[in-house]
Amino acid sequence: MDRVNENLNTVNQPIYKKDAMALVTGQPVYTDDIAPSECLIVKVLRSPHAHALIHTISTEAAKKVPGIACILTYEDVPHKRFTMAGQTYPEPSPYDRYILDRRLRFVGDAVAIVAGKNEKAVDKALKKIKVTYEVLEPVLDFHKSKDNPILVHPEEDWVALCDVGADNKRNLCCQGTEGSGDLDAVMAECEYVVEGTYHTKACQQAMMETFRTYTEMDAYGRLKVTSSTQIPFHVRRILSTALDIPKSRIRVCKPRIGGGFGAKQSVVTEVFPAIVTLKTGKPAKMIYTRYESQICSSPRHEMEVTVRVGADKNGIIQAIDMYTLSNAGAYGEHAPTTITLTSCKSIPLYGKARAYRFTYEAVYTNTMGAGAYRGYGATQGIFAVESAVNELAVKMNMDPVRLREINMVQEGQVMPAYYGEICGSCALDRCMAKAREMMDWDAKYPARDMGNGKVRAVGVAMAMQGSSISNVDVASATIKLNDNGFYSLSIGASDMGTGCDTILAQMAAEELRCPVEEIAVHGVDTDISPYDSGSYASSTTYLTGRAVVKACRELKEKIDQYSREHPGLTLKEIGNECMCNNNIALEVTATNSSPVSPPPFMVGMAEVEVDTETGSVEVLDFVGVVDCGTPINPNLARVQAEGGIVQGIGMALYENIQFNGKGQMLNNSFMQYKIPSRQDIGKIRVEFESSYEPQGPFGAKSIGEIVINTSSPAIAHAIYNATGKRFHELPITPEKIVMGE
């Protein structure tokens, strides 16, 4: 901890976001604000059926609508399967889609692409496309999908690049088992065992800016793609595969992004305007409606996690057994990877366990395919494990805080379920102590009857996440000294609104001992930026941050050497030397991968008030204490935590993607899909108890994802303490509280 404040000038300071004033004054900096006005409007005709084959499709009448430039069907697109998942090649997600396919796999799947001069013409043309469908029976229930005779992907050219146990002839997107220790033997010795099945639903990410992309041909005959994406370099590769053109013909740029949360770690819109521009040579744009963002994008995977936790007579958790069933939906984006996080980012919270086992299956169904959503499986696994541990505490008649105190992972412990990594930094104990004090847990646990039909109660949960994907993710930074002595920092990580441009500049300013204003940051352009996997997996602060530090240190050495060879020059003069008779580039690109993924930790405590008559739940207070290592920018870290907690409250109490018997979504707008408003939340209080991560830049780990993980289990626990009813399925609605699950 004492290392945190080692003479830091800009790191660990609440510096304004570099783009703040542009954002708060409403400058035109987002994709649709900067798209050329002559862009063709691109829209997609969507399948009304959950499972069907296109029997015939006629576009003749539609093409005659004035202003229509291009209509494409499955016959007009390359027949190369790809995945929209933004992951490092070879992607674990199966190659299971075309841009347009004859087989339609969910209500909303793309049938045809229409591009025209204006929205009215396009809408008119969409209505004039004549399609006859051969309607097939869908498989909608993910419990019934495996080995169902109805296959979502019967096609012969379906392929899984990685060995994830996928088998399209069994509707399996992945399957496997892993573990360490003799689970059955250790479990048999346990004095206390609890078991439960926990069902978390698909949730939509609901970032305020929907998915959007515009495309144009540049002066060099290359396809320039401007997109609201977290993964510009993956977009380049995926488009190259999907469009069957060389990567060298594609350039991807990222403007300001109106939120991501993982939604934009999939290539949701890019392929549609891109193929239109390739076919027509004209600029084109696709701006998703909120309706489309709801029904055909990249929500959280619905999962059912069955967990068995065993403890010895002293309350030491000895064994954890987990089985996860995940609903991939119609396409397998991120299914094989999210599912493995359910165990590897929940089980290691309990550092003394001698054995664990994890079995998993992700299956295809004829519903919207899922994607990467903040927490990425850890959220689902932690809801199950933390709920089970709270049940264990009841069984043992022990305070759930105490139970955690004697079991929680500590620095130096090996985490067998976490790639065998050693826990290098952990202040979970201090997080728990702080949360306990802030919530006044000892006085409030478990519940107080308020005497007016209302009961107030508290609940607790712990959480972890990772910091980048170890031995996979690559981050880079380029730093150069300019004339007049200011610096340019070029990064390949996408600032999606969280402020990474700013915190990376803070790190550069700290290393180079200059004001943060002297660091000009350039966001992502795949032609210019050094390679970065993208902004996901809680990687930017930790991994790209380390790349920035490396680059700055090398540049400092170069400047020092220049200075020794040319004594007496100021930094400004050294910068100016580059403009005349110069042979030395004062510019460095550094690249960084990490052999480990140091987990941040968190304790969340909720205080709720339940109206026992109506079942309504009010979250009065939520305390989150986070160990993200050194917070590079305490303000931005705090807002991450507050935002994540509230998003988690939505998941716990309101948000629920539902389908009717025909596979049509019932929650296709903000009218039916309620995200929390400012009236729905009480106090949200966040504090930091920082460990110092030796692998991280300035001791930092990550903050973006972990903060969503405690809301559901802590609130479910508080509701149990208020009502005596245990809820295994989210969201916990008033109906369920009054009428039972």
Partner 1 sequence: MLVKMWINGEAIRDHIDPDMLLLDFVRRHGCASVKRGCETSNCGLCTVMLEGKPILSCSMLAARAEGMHVMTLEGIQEEAREFGSFMAGQGADQCGFCNPGFIMNVLAMIRELTDPTEEEIKEYLEGNLCRCSGFVSQLRSIMEYLKYKKGEQDGSGK
Active-site annotation, residues:
705
678 interacts with partner 1 by CB under 8 A = yes
Reference 158, options 98, 212, 207, 109; nearest CA is 98
604 interacts with partner 1 by CB under 8 A = no
Span between the terminal Cα atoms of the chain, in Å: 45
Q: Write the binding mask 103 to 122 for partner 1: x where contact by CB under 8 A, - elsewhere.
A: -----------------x--
684 interacts with partner 1 by CB under 8 A = yes
List of residues 6+ apart from 517 with CB closer than 8 A: none
497 interacts with partner 1 by CB under 8 A = yes
Of the candidates 20, 414, 528, 584, which one interacts with partner 1 according to CB under 8 A?
Answer: 20
Reference 558, options 528, 583, 523, 521; nearest CA is 583
Q: Give the C-alpha separation, 693 to 640, whole Å.
A: 19
Q: Give the C-alpha separation, 199 to 669, whole Å.
A: 23
17 interacts with partner 1 by CB under 8 A = yes
Q: Within 13 Å of residue 596, how many CA atoms lie on the same side as its CB? A: 16
Query: Shortest Cβ distance from residue 27 to partner 1 (Å)?
Result: 8
Q: Which stretch binds partner 1 (CB under 8 A): 323-331, 390-398, 518-526, 629-637?
A: 629-637
Query: Shortest Cβ distance from residue 533 to partner 1 (Å)?
Result: 21
Helix locations, 325-439, DSSP H:
335-344, 378-396, 400-405, 428-439
Helix locations, 247-287, DSSP H:
271-280
Query: Shortest Cβ distance from residue 259 to partner 1 (Å)?
Result: 4
Asked, as a colleague might, if the bond just before 731 is cis with ω within 30 of 0, I would say yes
Of the candidates 647, 702, 721, 723, which one interacts with partner 1 according to CB under 8 A?
Answer: 647
303 forms beta bridges with 200, 326
Query: For residue 356, what are the CA distances in angstroms to 65, 178, 186, 362, 567?
Result: 62, 8, 9, 20, 62
Of the candidates 290, 352, 448, 553, which one interacts with partner 1 according to CB under 8 A?
Answer: 290
Q: Which stretch binds partner 1 (CB under 8 A): 29-37, 157-165, 233-241, 541-549?
A: 29-37
Q: Write the binding mask 500 to 539 for partner 1: x where contact by CB under 8 A, - elsewhere.
A: ----------------------------------------
Of the candidates 1, 21, 414, 666, which one interacts with partner 1 according to CB under 8 A?
Answer: 21
739 interacts with partner 1 by CB under 8 A = no
Query: Shortest Cβ distance from residue 498 to partner 1 (Å)?
Result: 7
Query: Shortest Cβ distance from residue 641 to partner 1 (Å)?
Result: 8
489 forms beta bridges with 479, 521
Strand order in the sheet with 284-287: 68-72, 110-116, 40-46, 284-287, 212-217, 223-227, 250-253
11 interacts with partner 1 by CB under 8 A = no
Query: For residue 608, what are the CA distances in angstroms to 375, 439, 612?
Result: 23, 12, 12
700 forms beta bridges with 629
Name the residue type at position 704: G
Of the candidates 39, 242, 257, 508, which one interacts with partner 1 according to CB under 8 A?
Answer: 257
Query: Shortest Cβ distance from residue 78 to partner 1 (Å)?
Result: 32
210 interacts with partner 1 by CB under 8 A = yes
**Residue 18 phi/psi, 5° resolution?**
-60, -30
Of the candidates 103, 638, 701, 728, which one interacts with partner 1 according to CB under 8 A?
Answer: 638
480 interacts with partner 1 by CB under 8 A = no
Of the candidates 424, 644, 699, 731, which one interacts with partner 1 according to CB under 8 A?
Answer: 644
What element of type H or E holds 319?
Answer: strand 317-329
28 interacts with partner 1 by CB under 8 A = yes
Query: Shortest Cβ distance from residue 637 to partner 1 (Å)?
Result: 8
Measured at the CA of 247, the angle between CA 246 and CA 248, to 5 degrees, comes to 90
Count of residues in the chain: 741
Q: Which stretch binds partner 1 (CB under 8 A): 269-277, 284-292, 300-308, 509-517?
A: 284-292
Q: Which stretch binds partner 1 (CB under 8 A): 361-369, 415-423, 525-533, 667-675?
A: 667-675
Is the CB of 22 or the CB of 422 nearer to partner 1?
A: 22
Reference 649, options 614, 613, 674, 615; nearest CA is 674
41 interacts with partner 1 by CB under 8 A = no
Is the CB of 17 or the CB of 105 nearer to partner 1?
A: 17
Q: 121, 68 in Cβ contact below 8 A?
A: yes
**Residue 178 phi/psi, 5° resolution?**
-155, 170
Measured at the CA of 266, the angle between CA 177 and CA 292, to 5 degrees, comes to 120
Is the CB of 105 or the CB of 256 nearer to partner 1?
A: 256
67 interacts with partner 1 by CB under 8 A = no
List of residues 6+ apart from 30 with CB closer than 8 A: 209, 228, 255, 256, 257, 258
Q: Which stretch binds partner 1 (CB under 8 A): 52-60, 252-260, 430-438, 720-728?
A: 252-260
646 interacts with partner 1 by CB under 8 A = yes
Is the CB of 118 or the CB of 471 nearer to partner 1?
A: 118
Is the CB of 454 or the CB of 685 nearer to partner 1?
A: 685
Q: Give the C-alpha separation, 394 to 408, whole Å.
A: 18
295 interacts with partner 1 by CB under 8 A = no
443 interacts with partner 1 by CB under 8 A = no
- Burial level of 378, CB count in 10 A (0-12/13-18/19+)? buried
Q: Give the C-alpha separation, 191 to 621, whole Å.
A: 35
Q: 495, 523 in Cβ contact below 8 A?
A: yes
229 interacts with partner 1 by CB under 8 A = no
Query: Shortest Cβ distance from residue 135 to partner 1 (Å)?
Result: 28
Q: Which stretch binds partner 1 (CB under 8 A): 24-32, 316-324, 593-601, 716-724?
A: 24-32
Query: Shortest Cβ distance from residue 563 to partner 1 (Å)?
Result: 36
Q: Which stretch binds partner 1 (CB under 8 A): 82-90, 464-472, 597-605, 677-685?
A: 677-685
Of the candidates 8, 48, 245, 291, which one interacts with partner 1 according to CB under 8 A?
Answer: 291
Tokens 């609940």 sit on residue: 459
Is the CB of 564 or the CB of 678 nearer to partner 1?
A: 678
433 interacts with partner 1 by CB under 8 A = no
Classify the phi-psi angles of 243: left when phi > 0, otherwise alpha if psi is within -120 to 50, otherwise beta.
Answer: alpha
206 interacts with partner 1 by CB under 8 A = yes
Report, in this order, helix, strand and coil percent for the chain, each rounded to 5: 30, 25, 45
Q: Which stretch binds partner 1 (CB under 8 A): 190-198, 491-499, 564-572, 595-603?
A: 491-499
Q: Hey, CA dihedral for 69, 74, 80, 83, is it positive or negative?
A: positive
Q: Give the C-alpha separation, 120 to 113, whole Å.
A: 15
496 interacts with partner 1 by CB under 8 A = yes
Q: Give the C-alpha separation, 389 to 404, whole Å.
A: 8
636 interacts with partner 1 by CB under 8 A = yes
Total residues interacting with partner 1, rule: CB under 8 A? 56
Is the CB of 363 or the CB of 496 nearer to partner 1?
A: 496
Site residues (vs partner 1, CB under 8 A): 14, 16-17, 19-30, 33, 120, 205-210, 256-261, 289-291, 496-499, 633, 635-636, 638-639, 642-647, 669-671, 675, 677-679, 681, 684
